[in-house]
């Protein structure tokens, strides 16, 4: 029997992942507040739901991919949300990047109703999601993981078990803290190198051949900002939200993040203006603006 999947949230990551689920043969019902995004998946054969409740009922698995903690709590825990309508035998898979304590609240609410739950935040970029090459950081028990693994495999190539419910969210906070901090260092380095008269290809090739090599320069920047493409795969606004999760977690656990706090402040300043809705690779443009140099281009 074909697995029935309700998919809620068709943003930069959710849309390509839902599309891959449909292409891989799952019986998909989708919902998003933007009808045009639903149309892109229904054109592949998925069903369109009128609301969250309709997307949740009659499914074997319900997946949510939403921007922030408040959206997840409203959609999942709201009066006419997922848990008010999901079948008792179904599993909820939460893919959003949110406060781990909110993940714990959702997990507890699922447990109280006897609903299987997994948090499986997404790694990698929207270009990977389009190719079905996402990475998932999974927090779940073994039985739930066995149930949801096939649908995760339809959307990605790498799955890491991080522990029980809630541990996927905790791993995602650390992952994004690291990559976003690295992205800012890359942006500053390239702005400085450009100011010093270095060619961008030279900087790319030399750092790529040393231990300075990193995904933020050699994957993200070369595919986005260095091509002049600032269309959002992951906005600076959302990146600031993710850094805030790390800063808050550190404060709650008495851990100092001096470098991370400085990076958080840069993202906060960048989101105050035109860069808020740009891809986070636009950190390069922001750094070059400050250095009074033209943003370099490759390709």
Classify burial at 39, counting beta carbons within 10 Å of its beta carbon; exposed 0-12, middle 13-18, buried 19 or more: middle
Three-state secondary structure call for residue 169: helix
Classify residue 204: in a domain, yes or no. yes
Classify residue 254: in a domain, yes or no. yes
* Same-domain status, 159 and 201: no
Classify residue 229: in a domain, yes or no. yes
Looking at residue 95, its pLDDT comes to 98
Q: Domain end: 104, 139, 165, which one?
A: 165
* Same-domain status, 48 and 179: no
Classify residue 297: in a domain, yes or no. no
Longest alpha-carbon distance in the chain: 63
Instruction: Indicate which CATH number applies to the domain containing 271.
Output: 1.10.1040.10
Instruction: Indicate which CATH number applies to the domain containing 70.
Output: 3.40.50.720
* Same-domain status, 147 and 208: no
Looking at residue 1, its pLDDT comes to 76
Query: What is the domain extent for residue 57?
Result: 4-165
Domain count, the chain: 2
Classify residue 218: in a domain, yes or no. yes
Catalytic residue numbers, as ranges: 172
* Same-domain status, 125 and 226: no
Cα-trace Rg, the chain: 20
Looking at residue 299, its pLDDT comes to 78
Spell out the per-residue pLDDT of the chain, length 299, in tens. 799 999 999 999 999 999 999 999 999 999 999 999 999 999 999 999 999 999 999 999 999 999 999 999 999 999 999 999 999 999 999 999 999 999 999 999 999 999 999 999 999 988 899 999 999 999 999 999 999 999 999 999 999 999 999 999 999 999 999 999 999 999 999 999 999 999 999 999 999 999 999 999 999 999 999 999 999 989 999 999 999 999 999 999 999 999 999 999 999 999 999 999 999 999 999 999 999 999 999 97
Looking at residue 125, its pLDDT comes to 86
Classify residue 87: in a domain, yes or no. yes
Classify residue 298: in a domain, yes or no. no
What token pair was written down for 207?
Answer: 């750092």
Closest CA to 173 of 111, 227, 233, 253: 253
Looking at residue 208, its pLDDT comes to 98
Q: Domain end: 126, 149, 165, which one?
A: 165
* Same-domain status, 241 and 107: no
What token pair was written down for 232?
Answer: 């959002």
Looking at residue 83, its pLDDT comes to 97
Classify residue 299: in a domain, yes or no. no
Q: Domain end: 113, 136, 165, which one?
A: 165
Helices (H), 43-124: 52-56, 69-77, 82-85, 100-113
User: Which residues are paired to 93 by β-bridges?
Assistant: 63, 118
Q: Identify whether the C-beta of residue 229 lies closer than 8 Å to the C-beta of residue 278.
A: no
């Amino acid at each position: 029997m074909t697995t029935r999947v309700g998919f809620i949230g068709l943003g930069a990551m959710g849309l390509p992942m839902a599309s891959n689920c449909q292409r891989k043969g799952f019986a998909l019902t989708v919902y998003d507040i933007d009808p045009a995004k639903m149309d892109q998946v229904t054109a592949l054969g998925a069903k369109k739901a009128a609301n969250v409740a309709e997307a949740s009922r009659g499914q074997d698995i319900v997946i949510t991919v939403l921007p922030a903690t408040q959206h997840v709590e409203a959609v999942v825990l709201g009066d006419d949300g997922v848990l008010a309508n999901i079948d008792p035998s179904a599993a909820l898979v939460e893919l959003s990047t949110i406060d781990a304590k909110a993940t714990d609240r959702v997990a507890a609410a699922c447990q109280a109703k006897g609903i299987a739950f997994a948090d499986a935040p997404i790694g990698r970029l929207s270009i990977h999601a389009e190719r079905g090459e996402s990475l998932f950081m999974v927090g779940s028990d073994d039985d739930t993981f066995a149930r949801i693994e096939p649908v995760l495999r339809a959307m990605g190539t790498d799955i890491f078990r991080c522990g029980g419910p809630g541990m996927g969210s905790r791993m995602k906070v650390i992952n994004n803290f690291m990559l976003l901090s690295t992205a800012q260092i890359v942006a500053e380095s390239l702005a400085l190198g450009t100011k010093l008269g270095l060619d961008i290809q030279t900087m790319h090739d030399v750092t790529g051949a040393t231990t300075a090599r990193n995904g933020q320069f050699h994957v993200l920047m070369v595919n986005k900002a260095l091509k002049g493409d600032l269309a959002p795969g992951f906005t600076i606004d959302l990146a600031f939200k993710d850094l805030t999760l790390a800063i808050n977690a550190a404060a709650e656990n008495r851990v100092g993040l001096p470098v991370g706090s400085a990076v958080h402040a840069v993202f906060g300043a960048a989101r105050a203006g035109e860069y808020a809705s740009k891809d986070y690779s636009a950190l390069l443009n922001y750094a070059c603006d400050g250095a009074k140099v033209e943003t370099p281009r490759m390709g």
